[in-house]
Structure 1
Amino acid sequence: MGDNGTISEPWMPARTPKTFPLGKGNIYPLEAPHAVSVSLPTWDSVIGLSRKEKWVLDDLEWSYPRFYINKPVRDLCAAILSRLHIIDSTISCMAFLSPTAAHKCIAALKTKPSENAFTTEIVRFVMPLESNLGDASTHWANFTAILFPSDQLKDAMAFWRDTGSGLSTRHAEFCLEELDYLDSDSPNQSFKTPAPRKRCRDSIPESLAQIQAATASTHGLKSFLAELATSDHPGQPTVTPDDVFLYSTGMNAIYTLSETLLSLEHGSKSVMYGWLYPETIEAIRRGAWQECLSYKYGTEDDLDKLEDMLRCGQRIHAFFCELPSNITLYSPNLHRIRALADKYDFIVACDDTVAGYVNIDALPYVDIMMSSLTKTFSGASNVTGGSLIINPSSKHHSKLRAALSHKPIYFPLDLHTLYQNSKHIHWRVRKCNANTLPLIPLSASHPAIAAVNHPSIAPTRPLYEFVMRKDGGYGNVLSIVFRDPKVAEHFYNALDVCKGSSFGTNFTLAIPYVQLACYWNQDKVAEYGVPRHIIRVSVGLEDEGEILAVFKKALESVDELELH
């Protein structure tokens, strides 16, 4: 503990919020590697990233890994092309841990047109026996690459983004270090090559020793998540580590769950209820659902319509929702949804990322909880992760657990980093909860602001409080809607906090949500309470007074703008 009672750690932000230069990783310390958020200090820079404009892309040092191929992954792909003697700039490469993901990506690309004569290829890199030290850690060097025409890069990136199944930056660094010890295998004979080097078996490389040590964190992380997720309600069973499943990203957890549910009931229907994060929708729609029914308003009227449909004999297999929604901050009526699920036999999957297990106790009302551990659970903005947790009292518990069982796919060095980051989560969440509350009346009372969204003041507040833990809070994410889009842009440019992708970081982070997440559909999303001038704010651990002062200063700048 520091002198003021706060925790002193390298990941702790400075006392006063501050905007970083364009393209820098939003991370503490500033130059630390593996940042999962990129600084986008102006409204124009956010639009520039969405439009893939060169002036923004040229300055990116790091960016959110599902939306951008960061340098360690690019370096590995360049080395793969060199190893395979490919010098044709019209051929691109991507790397996946899972051969299944690589094959699915290729299958998706084969449905898309290409003017390039080169056809998609798959190449598996595997540690041969002569370099295998007889340790399970060695298998983490194995990965699968795909080669494809560069004019299909947009479609390949869509798969990378929507499934979250690409190699992480730490994993790519490790695979690059091991690449010379790996055989390559492929249906294409010209891409079958022996490893250029054989390992000296006298000593274990430091990188393998680190992975061995990091693997020990798996049980600790799953146990900690199980403890956090266990309900406070009397009579509810304890969540066990076997109910917890870990993934490399939150989106990969959602995508895997969607595919798993389809495997249990082929050709079934799913429901997407309320305003869901756009990539969640894309991940679910990638599955072979007979139909994905959308109820974007997330109101009681929407539940009435769903109930009428079910009463008439139509059947759904899965129901996806968020609590609260990532941007509107509305909460679904989980009590009613649970009753419908019990009556009409469907599986409820809820994403709790915005609030988290420290704040809410919603697991008893769902069958499975989805979480991005990249956000508040980590906080440090230097690793991605995701989880699925099965409700131990769900009648679907046994079949879900059996269907989700898989070999470990979460790279140990990422897992270990996440586990270390998760320390002090109770303190961090409560501090961020408290830091958020003063910003709500400050923003809501300003004449330039039309609306403030937060679970504590939302029309659905009773629904949120229904699942709030006794010592929980309302979370650290709010969204602000200005009356004038130009004023919103001015406020964002003047706000001296970290600005960019992600949320739930230990530092305060803001983004004009639609310009980043829905730029190409911004005219369509406004009717759902998500106008183009909505700004999402994730409040961090900085000094409460300093955060408030920074927001007051930005609002005073708005006042000066309107005077002129």
Structure 2
Amino acid sequence: MTVAFAFENDIEVGESLPPMTAHAVSVSLPTWRANVGYEEGEDWVVSKMKTGYPRFFIHVSIEKFAVAIVSKYGQSGDRAMLFPSHVIASRCLDFFSKQAPDLDQRQIRIVDLVPTAEKERSEELSLISPKISAVLFPQERFPIAKAFWQHSGDGISSRRAEFCHSLFTKGALVDRTRLDEVPRSCKGPRRYHRKTSIDVTNGPDALNGEVQDPTQFVEERFGRNLNISLTANAKLAVKRRIAGSLTANVGLSEALALERDTERARNVPDFTEDDVYLYPCGMSSIFNTHRNLMTTRGGLKSIVFGFPYIDTLKIVQKFGPGCVFYGFGSSEELDDLEKKLEAGERFLALFTEFPGNPLLKSPDLVRIRALADRYDFFVIVDETVGNFLNVNVLPYADVVVSSLTKVFSGDSNVMGGSAILNPKAPHYKILKQLWENDYEDNHWAEDSIFLERNSRDFVSRIERINANAEAICDVLCAHPRVKELNYPKYSPTRCFYDKCRTPTGGYGGLLSATFYSKQDAIAFFDNLDTAKGPSLGTNFTLSSPYVILAHYGELDWAASYGVDANLVRFSVGLEDTDKLIKIFRHALDSIPSN
């Protein structure tokens, strides 16, 4: 007798992932048809979306704030895009001028909103810097502003929008040019006034169970009246975790008092958390790294090596002199690059992912580093998929970038990114000076607190995710309807991965598979009982027809690099291993027999 399979992740189209999470970074697209419908802009999908991935979907709290700003400071037909500083807003204006040279520059302008208390800066306001720089532009030019928002990753977060919108509504956040016209008294929402500790006895470590309303997480888990000054300590703890020197799952106060974890710290002499820089998201770290590098030798093209996440390639193509794209990431392409270099061509930088997404191939970092040293170009490695507990790529890079939104956080409710400088790289002194002169810390205070709390159990989560992913690989490898499995352990480039693998490292939680037909892929995906949506690195297993979501308008181009339109990508989570195996076997058994 066959027992019916009970679906537990039947989450409706457009619901946030995790469900009922105000600041979630993923959204449910539970069927193949829903993913296509999203890409086609079909109303039955788009109208139901409560949220989306933050660089592609303007969060409702951000949009409400933008509408309020336009209502007060704009003109008929205007729209606004919100950024955390005037400097970033100015870059958006520059992007407008290049993408739309026909646009009357008087139609696009910046409104800088600052606290009314700015002239007598309170400690709280100086620590959280609740400023907003709004770029106002004609509504019909929204695609240009959206492209800058998406590619740069430098837009404001939804939590910043909520906080600053509250100030704005109370008249406590005003146009800088009118600062002298308003009273200066309000210091922000009441919950930020009293100074308390987030690590007191009734704080997060003393609570059992989960908070019912995720929007109250900071207040309920960290004390009703949050001491926002602890943001600085939260950021320091996050930077130490990224450096690998803090790996214990302990509260904030205890964490900062611990000795350095020498076993898991990144194995580069003289490296400390002072070489770690936080950004609003991973793409922001890539965008700003590229921008900084161009100030050294801006006339040179860069190289994108291996099939990358879409916006990395777009950044290098759109914000600078362009790039040479080696989409296979193969030894033969390195041979071609070496010939170009020997012939006298010079490049600014080589951008690569370790391993790549979604094919999980690993570039030959040893050879790339040797070429970079010989021919003087920068190497930027995105370690998001591999993560530093599994691989140590810093010795081969000038800059290591990562999205902290993913497995570092795990909870899928906060954005973050990092850029790490290698103190032993040839041009470290130049880069260090560039970052010290240029860097703006725009990671919002509340986001930093979430990120610190989420990342405390990073080590144990990675160990479990590694094990679960290998178990799923075994299931997929053994099934005759799976055409190809992509995973670092089973990749033809495993030797390159293993050269960077740490003594305790595994092969990560991301894998993908292709099938012999589109019908097989759809049947498998629609019967796979996991959460389904964009993003990766979540504590829950998350699946998507990745190529449909990331490259829907360029499927033939992606296919030319071996990236099949019917590929299904899996970000493996923390579920019980046996349960995950049953879920995947059921989906495989749902593929119709020939």
Q: What TM-score do the two structures reach when normalised by structure 2? A: 0.86
Between the aligned partners of 1:184 and 1:135, the Cα distance in structure 2 is 21
Query: C-alpha distance in 2, partners of 1:40/1:518?
Result: 16
Once the two structures are TM-superposed, the CA of residue 211 in structure 1 deviates from its matched residue by: 2.8
Note if contact 2:61-2:158 (Cα within 8 Å) is conserved in structure 1: yes
> CA–CA distance in 1 between the matches of 2:425 and 2:14?
45
Secondary structure of the 1:294 match is strand
Alignment RMSD (CA, Å): 2.4
- 1:112 paired with 2:100, answer yes
What residue is the counterpart of 1:354 in the other structure? 385
Contact 2:245 2:265 (C-alpha < 8 Å) held by counterparts = no
2:175 to 184, 189, 193: 184
What pairs with 1:110-509 in structure 2 (closer than 5 Å)?
A: 110=97, 111-112=99-100, 119-129=107-117, 132-135=120-123, 137-138=125-126, 140-179=129-168, 180-185=171-176, 198-200=184-186, 205-207=190-192, 210-227=227-244, 236-289=268-321, 291-405=322-436, 406-509=439-542
| 1:228 to 1:499, Cα distance in 2 relative to 1, 3 A | farther
Tell me how far 1:385 sits from its aligned partner: 0.4
What secondary structure, in the 3-state scheme, does the structure 1 residue paired with 2:107 have? coil
Match of 1:539 among 564, 572, 580: 572
Q: Give the whole-Å Cα distance in 1 for the aligned partners of 2:148 and 2:78.
A: 17
Write the distance in 1 (CA, Å) between the matches of 2:94 and 2:467. Answer: 48
Q: CA-to-partner distance for each residue in 1:443-472, whole Å, 9 max, x for gaps? A: 123222210000010000111011101110
Alignment-derived partner of residue 12 in structure 1: none
Pairwise CA distance, 1:32: 2.4
Listed one character per residue, the Cα deviations across residues 298-356 of structure 1 (whole Å, up to 9, x for unaligned) are 10000000001111111112111011001010000011111111111111110010010
Structure 1 residue identity aligned to 2:397: V
Is the 1:477–1:537 Cα contact (8 Å) retained in structure 2? yes
Q: Does the 8 A contact of 1:367 with 1:397 survive in 2?
A: yes
Residues 497 and 235 of structure 1: is their aligned pair in 2 closer, same or farther, counting only changes over 3 Å? closer
Q: Which has the higher contact order (CA 8 A, sep 6+)?
A: 1
Residues 233 and 214 (structure 1), Cα distance of their counterparts in 2 relative to 1, 3 Å cut: closer
Deviations 1:203-237 (A, max 9, x none): 98323654323232122211221125988799841
Q: Distance in 2 between matches of 1:95 and 1:41?
A: 31
Question: Which residue number corresponds to residue 253 of structure 2?
Answer: none
Residue 95 of structure 1 aligns to a residue in which SS?
Answer: strand
- CA distance in 1 between counterparts of 2:401 and 2:118 reads 41
Q: Assess, with a 3 A threshold, how the Cα gap between structure 1 residues 105 and 485 changes in structure 2: closer, same or farther.
A: same
Letter in 1 for 2:29: L
Higher alpha-carbon deviation: 232-241 or 166-175: 232-241
Q: Secondary structure at the match of 1:424?
A: helix
Q: Distance in 1 between matches of 2:61 and 2:151?
A: 20
**How many Å apart are 1:136 and its aligned residue?**
5.4
CA contact (8 A) 1:251 1:283 kept: no
Secondary structure of 1:428's aligned partner: helix
Select which of 90, 102, 109 maps to 2:89: 102
**What is the CA–CA distance in structure 2 between the aligned matches of 1:381 and 1:74, rounded to whole Å?**
21
Which secondary structure does the structure 2 equivalent of 1:518 belong to?
helix
Paired residues of 2:244 and 2:265 also in contact (CA < 8 A): no
3-state DSSP of counterpart to 1:416: helix
Hey, what does 2:210 align to over in structure 1? none
Paired residue total: 536
Shift of residue 137 of structure 1? Answer: 2.7
Distance in structure 2 (CA, Å) of the matches to 1:442 and 1:448? 11
* SS state at 1:530 partner: coil
**Is the deviation greater in 98-107 or in 350-359?**
98-107
Question: What letter corresponds to residue 157 of structure 1 in structure 2?
Answer: K
Could you tell me the TM-score, scaled by structure 1's length? 0.90
Identity of aligned residues (%): 35
Cα distance in 1 between the residues matched to 2:589 and 2:427: 54
CA contact (8 A) 2:115 2:130 kept: yes
Q: Tell me the amino acid that sits aligned with residue 151 of structure 2.
A: D
SS of residue paired to 2:405: coil
Going from structure 1 to structure 2, the CA distance change for 1:395 and 1:84 (only over 3 Å counts) comes to same
Which whole-Å deviations, capped at 9, do the CAs of 1:37-67 have from their partners, x for residues lacking one?
Answer: 0010011111222222222121111111000
- Kindly indicate whether the alpha-carbon contact (under 8 Å) linking 1:116 and 1:151 is maintained by their aligned counterparts in 2: no
Q: Is the 8 A contact 1:318 1:346 kept in 2?
A: yes
Following TM superposition, by how much is the alpha carbon of 1:84 offset from its aligned partner in structure 2, in angstroms? Answer: 2.3
- Long gaps (5+) in structure 1: 1-14, 187-191
Aligned mates of 1:360, 1:349 — CA distance in 2: 15
Instruction: Verify the 8 A CA contact 1:514 1:531 in the aligned structure 2.
Output: yes
